[in-house]
Amino acid sequence: MSSTATDVVRLLTVKGETLAVAESLTGGLVAADITSVPGASKVFRGSVTAYATELKQELLGVDATLLAARGAVDPQVAAQMAAGVRKALGADWGIATTGVAGPDPQDGQAVGTVFVAVDGPFAPDSGSAGGGKVEGLRLNGDRAEIRRESVRSVLALLLTELAGEQTGNERAQDTERNGGF
């Protein structure tokens, strides 16, 4: 269990919100990291590991034309995966990973090309276009390192959004409840 996953579960619990995960290259590692945190069952709705491209369309509602034109490793695909899993599993927040862990390039994308996305109940002034945010990554390392960093990156992106959504008073109350300063 990572400290980021622990922080994500803690903030979701404080806010009374839920999370769903859509994964491709990470193959369930994001869901495993979240569910390793005690109390995750209060906030974690579930996950879809859509490794095959057609499952991204069939299960997550990713646009078939987009997939045909650009392939599965694309920022818009990541955004649609996050929005799709959020809707499909009835969660407040959806996160997604798609990319190339290797050993070979895919869809014309180099090994280490990864897109992570978050979709949630963003405030009007959050700067998020269409309710979601996507981050493009160029990762180095072997397959395991790329997958591990993808997990870390998507959880960090979600944590940033969760922390940004929380007011100062909520942070103070959470700190007091958890014995912090």
Question: What's the first-to-final CA gap in the chain, in angstroms?
Answer: 23
pLDDT at 104 exceeding the cut of 90: yes
CA distance 14 to 79: 25
Residue 181's pLDDT is what? 31
Read off the pLDDT of residues 24-79 as tens digits, 9 standing for 90 and up.
999 999 999 999 999 999 999 999 999 999 999 999 999 999 999 999 999 999 99
| Tens digits of residue pLDDT in 121-158 | 865 554 444 468 999 999 999 999 999 999 999 999 99
**180 pLDDT above the threshold of 70:** no
For residue 165, count other CB atoms closer than 10 A to its CB: 17
Tell me the whole-structure pTM to 2 decimals.
Answer: 0.87
